[in-house]
């Protein structure tokens, strides 16, 4: 591809897009306000599935399913290219009651890999919970490692990464983006891609049209066991426990509509810890290792916007992935690349154009 692109925002959406563009021969520069991969993409849990897939519309599960399909090969590609192991692992997810058994049953019928079992507390180190659903194909990845691998790979493919560079204005002339104004001066390119997560609407400014992407805070807790107490991800309502191979256990998360406030709160820490103890009593003796918050790029019905701007044909967006931006990343990059290069889409992408509101 003989063109150059500026990507605004260096999270998983920006880096995965950069990787695929570079592999097509484009010249790519990523402009990142802070340091690469330190916002929502770092803060997330790395579950590669919607929490209860039957609760989401097809537009969401189509993209998460395609993302999950692509992930294993993507993780291998990154490992081979960089030596960084993202710890992609099909650890399975146990969904504890209460959940909508009828909708879950229909989902299981359509996806033969699910099963509903009586959970035996002794098998899972959990307090007795009644009939649970096991989703064996759900995988996970370790976010900081994924970001490190992507960052290294983008650099090794010749991508230029400029950190501490905040985009403050998109300059439009003759129905094209002409340049962007940043804290490090003006930049221009043939194509511009906004992947600024929860800040995408602000970055687009007047060009956001009716886009509705806003921050939604999520807090996470981290514990360290000598030996992992769980074999699978465990989910109850919107509380989840994610075991890592080396004994770390993540507990998440909250959904807080508090604007761009990224502070953690004692209230959320106590709520998450107490709820998790009701499932896994051994947590009461543990010391909290870390507590953090991240801002998800929230969009209506969790449907992201991916593709060309309706009025400016050298401006693109890949954002608004809300709760599932890591899962959706490889599929979203694929959709955007297909659009840019004119390759036929593998999915119906109409829903991912609707977010502009026109």
Q: Which residues bind ligand FAD (CB under 6 A)?
A: 8-14, 31-34, 39-41, 43-47, 166-167, 195-199, 203, 218, 220, 252-253, 294, 296-297, 319, 321-327
Given the complex with ligand FAD, which of 101 and 172 has the nearer CB atom?
Answer: 172
Minimum CB–partner distance for residue 84 and ligand FAD (Å): 18
Query: What does the CA dihedral 296, 297, 300, 301 come to, rounded to 10 degrees?
Result: -50
30 or 108: CB nearest ligand FAD: 30
Q: Minimal CA–CA distance to 189: which of 162, 208, 215, 212?
A: 162
CB of 122 to ligand FAD, least distance (A): 28
For the residues of 106-174, what is the DSSP string, one character each? HHHHHSTT-EEEEPPHHHHT-----EEEEETT--B--HHHHHHHHHHHHHHTT-EEE-S--EEEEEEET
d(CA 21, CA 207): 23
Choose between 195 and 207: whose C-beta lies nearer to ligand FAD.
195
Residue 251 to residue 222: CA distance in whole angstroms: 6
To ligand FAD, the closest distance from the beta carbon of 102 in angstroms equals: 25
Considering the complex, what minimum distance in angstroms separates the CB of residue 209 from ligand FAD?
18
Q: Residues 6 or more apart from 120 whose CB is under 8 A from it?
A: none
Of 200, 169, 202, nearest to 186 (Cα)?
169
Least Å distance, CB 239 to ligand FAD, is 12
The smaller minimum CB distance to ligand FAD, of residues 106 and 265, is found at 265
């Amino acid at each position: 591809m003989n063109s150059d692109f500026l990507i605004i925002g260096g999270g998983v959406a920006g880096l995965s897009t950069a990787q695929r563009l570079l592999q097509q021969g484009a010249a790519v520069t990523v402009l990142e306000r802070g340091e690469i991969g330190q916002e929502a993409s770092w803060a997330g849990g790395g579950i590669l599935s919607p929490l209860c897939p039957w609760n989401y519309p097809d537009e969401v599960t189509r993209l998460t399913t395609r993302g999950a399909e692509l992930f294993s090969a993507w993780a291998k590609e990154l490992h081979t290219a960089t030596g960084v192991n993202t710890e992609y692992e099909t650890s399975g997810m146990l969904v504890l009651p209460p959940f909508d058994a009828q909708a879950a049953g229909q989902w299981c019928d359509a996806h033969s890999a699910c099963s509903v079992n009586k959970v035996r507390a002794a098998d899972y180190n959990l307090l007795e919970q009644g009939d649970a659903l096991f989703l064996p194909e759900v995988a996970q990845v370790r976010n900081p490692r994924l970001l490190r691998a992507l960052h290294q790979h983008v650099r090794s493919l010749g991508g230029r990464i400029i950190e501490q560079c905040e985009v403050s204005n998109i300059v439009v002339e003759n129905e094209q983006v002409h340049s962007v104004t940043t804290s490090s001066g003006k930049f221009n390119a043939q194509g511009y891609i906004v992947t600024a997560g929860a800040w995408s609407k602000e970055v687009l400014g007047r060009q956001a049209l009716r886009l509705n992407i806003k921050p939604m805070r999520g807090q996470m807790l981290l514990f360290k066991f000598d030996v992992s107490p769980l074999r699978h991800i465990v989910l109850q309502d919107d509380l989840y426990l994610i075991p890592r191979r080396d004994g770390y256990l993540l507990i998440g998360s909250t959904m807080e509509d508090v604007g761009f406030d990224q502070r953690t709160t004692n209230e959320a820490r106590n709520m998450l810890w107490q709820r998790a103890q009701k499932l896994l009593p051994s947590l009461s003796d543990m010391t909290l290792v870390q507590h953090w918050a991240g801002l998800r790029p929230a969009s209506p019905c969790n449907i992201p916007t991916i593709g060309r701007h309706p009025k400016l044909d050298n401006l693109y967006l890949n954002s608004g992935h809300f709760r599932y931006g890591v899962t959706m990343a490889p599929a979203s990059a694929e959709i955007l690349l297909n659009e840019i290069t004119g390759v036929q889409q593998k999915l119906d992408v109409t829903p991912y154009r609707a977010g502009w509101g026109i």
